[in-house]
Homo-oligomer: A and B are copies of this chain.
């Protein structure tokens, strides 16, 4: 097993708890998914990842690979599925690994946890983690895929410009005003009105 920069299982679990907030089963499934990805991909490539969920899996990927949301090597496309595409950032070739609903039937405690078949308080966290570790790569389906070219383009490194509306800096590739002012992003806050 590979535990990234954490060296041991215990260290990884400790870091998952510190970073993610709890030793979530999904984070541990992520450990095995990343391990499988590294087994399947050629050695020595520069790997990027697209994660299909905003859940625990994304945090395991951030901890166990060089890819984070803040360095642009991890992208989230939230299809809501427990899956991720690990690929060579130059060629776009890679693997899509997903939690297999069929294989999950062989691992009743993992299935119970993931599909929420029993109330959380009746589930035994230790037993779930243990079964995830016994299952390992056997939890997944995978297939070879090629990531679309548009996603392989490197971002333009142009200097930021000032938005004529809000006065803040933004990447000029976003348009004539920043995406906040042009309404391209959802509106998510308003000023506090002091009575």
Contacts and interface: CB of A to CB of B under 8 A. Distances in A.
A89 interface: no
Contacts of A20: 68, 70-71
A190 B59 CA distance: 25
A191 B56 CA distance: 26
Interface in A21-65: 21, 27, 50, 52, 54-60, 62-63
Contact of A68 (B19, B168, B194): B19
A83 B144 contact: no
Contacts of A144: 191-192, 194
Contacts of A121: none
> Interface size bucket, A side?
35 or more
B80 A56 contact: no
Given A77-B185, A80-B170, A69 B93 contact: no
Given A19-B62, A71-B20, A83-B168, A190 B101 contact: no
B54 A167 contact: no
A101 B162 CA distance: 8
Contacts of A136: none
A71 to B, nearest CB: 5
Contact of A69 (B18, B76, B82, B99): B76
Interface of A: 5, 18-21, 27, 50, 52, 54-60, 62-63, 66, 68-73, 76-83, 85, 87, 93, 96, 98-99, 101, 114-117, 143-148, 151, 157-160, 162-163, 166-171, 174, 178-180, 185-192, 194
A72 B54 contact: yes
Contacts of A151: 188
21 contacts: A21-B71, A54-B72, A60-B70, A62-B62, A62-B68, A62-B70, A77-B186, A78-B185, A83-B168, A85-B189, A87-B189, A101-B169, A116-B158, A117-B159, A145-B192, A146-B189, A146-B190, A147-B189, A148-B188, A148-B190, A151-B188
